[in-house]
């Protein structure tokens, strides 16, 4: 998904009424979760929390520090603790009454606890062709692309599939094609968000 620097076309700020609930965005790497979350956060003023940041922080705090994907796989599979990162996220919140935009939970158990703690919640799933996801992953690289990265990305998809990400996507309230322009996607999400959480 292309980065955007404006919410023009998404809606006018004075159209918002109090009552926007929280938004949770799920999908595979490169599906546009962070771009959409950032855009919706700028539009609504809601705080955006990335589950990936929670995982990276927890992995870095291990002794010795662990790679984030390796640590997440250890927690989710070997230790069988599906709520570990969601609980860390919730523990870090100062005020559960403030709506949030949460980007990137992988497990259905995480969705369940987020729905409970952050209610009302709209869960949005993003799906897009793998070729588009790969182009986006390449575009956001901070180092030179290596062909071996394609294999690494495929392996990561397989790991996340093993964590149950396909099932988590199936539990979303709405699933959108994120291959459309970001402004169009944001409009579609905004429409169902206002309908589902009582705003406007």
Q: Are 26 and 126 in contact (CB under 8 A)?
A: yes
The token pair at 168 is 């988590």
Q: What is the pLDDT of residues 162-176, one digit of tens each?
A: 999 999 999 999 999
Which of the pair, 13 or 4, is modelled with greater confidence? 13
C-alpha distances (whole Å) from 47 to each of 35, 38, 121, 155, 165 are: 14, 9, 14, 31, 24
Percentage of the residues of the chain whose pLDDT score is greater than 90: 76
Model confidence, pTM: 0.88
**CA quadruple 10, 13, 15, 21: dihedral, nearest 10:** 80
Domains in the chain, ordered, with CATH? 20-193 (3.40.50.300)
Asked if pLDDT for residue 126 goes beyond 90, the answer is: yes
Q: State the pLDDT at residue 10.
A: 52
CA distance 52 to 18: 29
């Amino acid at each position: 998904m292309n980065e955007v620097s404006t919410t023009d076309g998404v809606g006018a700020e004075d159209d918002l009424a109090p009552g926007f609930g929280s938004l949770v965005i799920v999908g595979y790497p490169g599906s546009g979760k962070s771009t959409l979350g950032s855009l919706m956060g700028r539009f609504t003023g809601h705080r955006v929390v990335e589950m990936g940041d929670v995982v990276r922080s927890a992995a870095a705090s291990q002794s010795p520090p662990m790679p984030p994907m390796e640590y997440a796989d250890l927690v989710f599979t070997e230790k069988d603790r599906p709520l570990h990162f969601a609980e860390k996220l919730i523990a870090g919140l100062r005020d559960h009454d403030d709506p949030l935009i949460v980007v990137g939970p992988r497990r259905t158990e995480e969705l369940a606890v987020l729905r409970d703690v952050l209610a009302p919640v709209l869960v949005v799933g993003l799906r897009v062709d793998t070729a588009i996801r790969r182009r986006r992953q390449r575009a956001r690289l901070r180092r030179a692309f290596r062909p071996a990265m394609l294999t690494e990305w495929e392996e990561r998809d397989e790991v996340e599939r093993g964590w149950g990400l396909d099932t988590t996507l199936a539990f979303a309230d709405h699933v959108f094609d994120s291959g459309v322009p970001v402004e169009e996607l944001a409009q579609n999400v905004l429409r169902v968000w206002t309908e589902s959480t009582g705003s406007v």
